[in-house]
Each structure stands twice: as C-alpha cells, then as structure tokens.
Structure 1
Amino acid sequence: MSQTDRDYSEKRDFIRMRVDADVSLIHEGDEVQAVCIDLSSSGMQLEAPRSFKVGDRLSVRIDSDHAALKGLEADTEVVWVKAQDGGGQKLGLTILKMK
C-alpha cells in the first residue's frame, strides 16, 4: 500500500517532533531554502517560499549546529501541498531514502 493510499488516521500513528529548522531543498538542480515545521520517522512538514506539486521528488538537507551530530539528508516525495497567504506553501513529504 502506498503512502497516499493510507487513511489519515494511520498516517498519524507516527510520532511527530516539532523542529522549526532551516532546510535546503534540491529540486531539478535548483536549491531552495525552506523551514521544517515537524519531522517523523516517515516524513516531514515544510514551509517553502515557492510552489511544488504532488509527486515532485526533493532532496532535503538539514544541517546540524553541533559538531557531534550529523545533519539529516534524505530523498523525499511531495504527498500533499497547501497554499499559504503570500505565495508560499506548506508541503507534506514522505521520506523515500535516508542518505
């Protein structure tokens, strides 16, 4: 069963951690700065200044401020989008592969 086929309540079975961290998104060679709102073991919610669409594949990088902790790098896919006032949007991403 794909991520998009699962019902809403099942998607919420994963613990989400609010992070409010700066992230770099790479899509088709372009790098875009965004903010990660929350993170779980299977996905993340972001706020981005430009538009993406469901199905877009994004590489995500969250750098660590601590020398002892490695940052997060993952290949993801956009599973939902919600337009925001001012032209940006919130994105729901599923993690396809951790790097």
Structure 2
Amino acid sequence: MVTFDDKRNFYRMMLNSEVTITIIDDEANRQMTATCRDMSAEGMAIEMDYPLDIGTRVRVKVESSTQSIQSLDAKGRVIRVKEESADCYLVGIKIDDMD
C-alpha cells in the first residue's frame, strides 16, 4: 500500500496486466511478454522470467481492455533488477517517453 511516507514523486497504481516488451538495444528488436505489477507517471515494475541488464532500453506496450481508453506505449530503460525467486525477476523501468 502506498502511503504519504512513500518517497516517490508519484503514486503507484497496482496492476496485474500483461505487457509486450521490445528490447530497443537488440538489433532484432526482440519481443517478449511479461506482467506489469505496478505503474506510476515515472516508471513501472515488470515481472519477468529472466533478468534484463541495467541500462537496457525497452519499449513497453500495455493494451487497453476497452476502445474508449488508449493503450499505453512507453519507452524507457531498466534501472533495477531484483530476483524474487527461481525464474521470477522484478524489473524496474524508468519511463523516458510515452506515445
């Protein structure tokens, strides 16, 4: 739960949504699916099966469940990686740009 004691500039919105991640730094623009746990105006936490390197540039797409709300298409970079368990990594992404 986010409280006023949280040191973040923006509150985090809890999600459990499937996202598509494209590795921008990869020549092949490799794509994978993951789960977005939470998101704020500046970043998001993504749960993945394997880690990404710190500094990796990515594009994250969150499809909208309704036509009245636009899908999220953001570019950012990996700023944190935490191993939660075997084959489960929490990847922190700082959002640099949104389309």
TM-score (norm 1): 0.85
Q: Which has the higher helix share?
A: 1
Deviation at 1:44, TM superposition (A): 0.5
Gaps of 5+ in 1: 1-8
Identity of paired residues, percent?
A: 27
Deviation at 1:86, TM superposition (A): 2.0
Tell whether 2:96 aligns with 1:68. no
Gaps of 5+ in 2: 1-5
Runs of 4+ in 1 over 2 A off after TM superposition: none
Partner of 2:92: 92
Deviation at 1:65, TM superposition (A): 1.1
Q: State the SS of the aligned residue for 2:36.
A: strand
Deviation at 1:36, TM superposition (A): 0.5
For residues 23-65 of structure 1, the C-alpha deviation after alignment (integer angstroms, 9 at most, x for no partner) is: 0000121111101111100001110112201101010000011
CA RMSD of superposed structures (Å): 1.2
Partner of 2:15: 19
TM-score (norm 2): 0.85
On the 8 A contact 2:83/2:89 being kept in 1, the answer is yes
**5 Å matches for 1:49-68?**
49-68=49-68
Deviation at 1:84, TM superposition (A): 2.4
